[in-house]
Chain A
Amino acid sequence: MSETAMRIEVFKTYKLYVGGKFPRSESGRVYEVTDAKGQWLANAPLGTRKDARDAVVAARAAVKGWSGTTAYNRGQVLYRVAEMLQGRREQFTAEVAAAEGLGAKKAAALVDAAIDRWVWYAGWTDKVAQIAGGANPVAGPFFNLSTPEPTGVVGVVAPRAGHGFSLLGLVSVIAPAIATGNTVVVAAAEQAPLPALSLGEVLATSDVPGGVVNLISGRTADIAPTLASHQDVNALDLAGAIDPEGPGAAAALEAAAADTLKRVVRPAADPSAADWTASPGTGRLLSFLETKTVWHPMGI
């Protein structure tokens, strides 16, 4: 028997990414992830409400440090994510191709776009204050200055449809939130969580402090309502809340979020027609900011 015939392939155990660590789900369970044609790909951890709760605790603990870094430093960290992602381009190409049922060429183009999107948002970190804040003219001897500050912990329901949703779409919702100093807890796309779970490995090796991004795979209908009603989550991005009804539907989540006055970004009107390769604009970047205005006496 030749040595190559003896070789047994080593499968990867996909894990959650919470607080900079890679825990298994608190439930100990996994669920099967298939490609677009229904072929088994891997087992993903079945994250639960408790995992979501633990992730919020980790995200809250990370707010102080992450929002306290300079915008310039955050930009460098985001650029570093792009560097790390570039190095694992092949792996992500395969995962995106399987998740979205695309050919290798198209999948590679989406991974490249995702890398570029990190760079794009890395550039925004120290510029957002100029478009979201500034000096206000007031009728008195005062300097009146408005500056944007991060909202805090953002719950993200990752995109589940549209061209490029599995990685590019995910990056397009995570990057704008953390670029401004927020921390996020992401409910990964239920049917296609593998690119998200692998992205956790990239983030862990790119100077992003633990807890700034937390990724939970599992049933969206379990995790999203937990984030929506959690009193320590400050905002919600419902990009992937595309169920027409039930606990994971956008309307139900928005209603739960209203109890604690969260900022909410609604999903696109027709999510399956969404094209994540389109220029993202500054909409999401400006969604999770609070404006602080200070009056300072002039003269003397």
Chain B
Amino acid sequence: MSTLAANAPGATGGGLADVAASEATLRRFLHGLPGVDQVGLESRAATLGTRSIKTTAKAFAIDLAISMIDLTTLEGADTVGKVRSLCAKGLSPDPTDRTAPHVAAICVYPDMVATAKDALRGSDIQVASVATAFPSGRAGMPVKLADTAEAVAAGADEIDMVIDRGAFLSGRYLEVFEEIRAVKEACRRADGSSAHLKVIFETGELQTYDNVRRASWLAMIAGADFIKTSTGKVAVNATPPVTLLMLEAVRDFRAATGTQVGVKPAGGIRTTKDAMKYLVMVNETLGDDWLSPHWFRFGASSLLNDLLMQRQKLRTGRYSGPDYVTVD
């Protein structure tokens, strides 16, 4: 069932262009979205987490999950060497088994984009860069746009921006909308093509599920290519219910507008079992159309090692250990 409210302005004809005509229309639209059934959402997410996935299906899911990873290093202590070794790991995650797929992207801070781009030359792994004063988003617009433009100029294929949660929580939706629009504009390259824009909500700071639904629609209307749960820098990161809610939002958005938007849960996904739960949710909510690295990503770093250990277990029949994957 579509969550698009019947009374939402602009819902007819699939056009949502006039929704953001003014602060008032945008607010009316976002607050016109139906409320989230918290109990239902959480129990649905919990039920989908109980599926048992074994043998060949598990092998498929592990390889799919590896190919969906945005392998991430976002530390103050990042060095050129660390980014290079992370890129090498992304290219060939399991040096003892060349059949392991490579990851989808390497996610770094803007100043490391050139390094990553250089290390990944010749491969089709994307370089994603966080931008807009990540992770807090507390900077002036010119700084955020310059941050984005610098990353794009350095060769970033994807930009992970954070929204201004302060503005969103105070109800200044149009400000957030304009911000996403402006960053989207800054993603444009000289040759006319454009870097993919992922919009991070930091759902752990949005307080309610209703706010997550509103933020999802706001970002999609503003032109996000991907919506992403979290920065990984706060206490509450991606959770199954929040991700399920965002998956429903992109499903309904496509039904309303015909535009497909990707989803990226990030932070706190550490085990193969967790990853499987998310893949089950994607398949059950969105189907095959989203089961590819183009439309679904995991923002993670330690998840990859657990996937590789499980992969080795399936191949050899014996449990692997941390001594048999790279340290990072």
| Dominant secondary structure of chain A at its interface with chain B | helix
CA distance A152 to B206 in the complex (A): 44
Of A232, A256, A259, the contact of B321 (CB 8 Å cutoff): A232
Interface residues on A, range: 10 to 19
Task: Check if B324 is an interface residue, CB within 8 A of chain A.
Answer: yes
In whole Å, how far is A206's beta carbon from the nearest beta carbon of chain B? 29
CA distance A110 to B113 in the complex (A): 68
Question: Would B321 and A53 count as touching, CB distance under 8 A?
Answer: no
Interface residues on B, range: under 10
In whole Å, how far is B323's beta carbon from the nearest beta carbon of chain A? 7
Task: Check if B322 is an interface residue, CB within 8 A of chain A.
Answer: yes
Inter-chain contacts of A259 with B (CB < 8 A): 318
CA distance A256 to B323 in the complex (A): 18
Of A226, A231, A256, the contact of B320 (CB 8 Å cutoff): A231
Task: Check if A266 is an interface residue, CB within 8 A of chain B.
Answer: no
In whole Å, how far is B302's beta carbon from the nearest beta carbon of chain A? 14
Task: Check if B319 is an interface residue, CB within 8 A of chain A.
Answer: yes
Q: Mark A28-69, 1 if CB is under 8 A from B, else 0.
A: 000000000000000000000000010010001000000000
B312, B317, B318: residue with the most chain A Cβ atoms closer than 10 Å? B318
Q: Mark A216-240, 1 if CB is under 8 A from B, else 0.
A: 0000000000100111110000000
Inter-chain contacts of B320 with A (CB < 8 A): 231-232
CA distance A256 to B320 in the complex (A): 14
Inter-chain contacts of B312 with A (CB < 8 A): 231
Question: Would A229 and B321 count as touching, CB distance under 8 A?
Answer: no
Question: Would A60 and B321 count as touching, CB distance under 8 A?
Answer: yes
CB contact list, A244-277 vs B, under 8 A:
256, 259
Of B319, B321, B323, B324, the contact of A226 (CB 8 Å cutoff): B319
Of A60, A231, A256, the contact of B324 (CB 8 Å cutoff): A231
Inter-chain contacts of A230 with B (CB < 8 A): 318-319, 321
Of B318, B323, B324, the contact of A229 (CB 8 Å cutoff): B318
In whole Å, how far is B311's beta carbon from the nearest beta carbon of chain A? 13
A53, A230, A256: residue with the most chain B Cβ atoms closer than 10 Å? A230
Inter-chain contacts of A226 with B (CB < 8 A): 318-319
Residues of B within 8 A of A (CB): 312, 317-324
Which 10 pairs between the two chains have the least Cβ-Cβ distance? Answer: A232-B321, A229-B318, A231-B321, A230-B319, A231-B320, A53-B319, A231-B324, A231-B319, A230-B318, A231-B318
**9 pairs from A and B in contact (CB 8 Å cutoff):** A56-B321, A226-B318, A229-B318, A231-B319, A231-B320, A231-B324, A232-B320, A232-B321, A256-B318
Residues of A within 8 A of B (CB): 53, 56, 60, 226, 229-233, 256, 259
With A232-B319, A256-B318 already in contact, 6 other A-B pairs whose C-beta atoms are closer than 8 Å: A53-B319, A229-B319, A230-B318, A231-B318, A232-B320, A232-B322
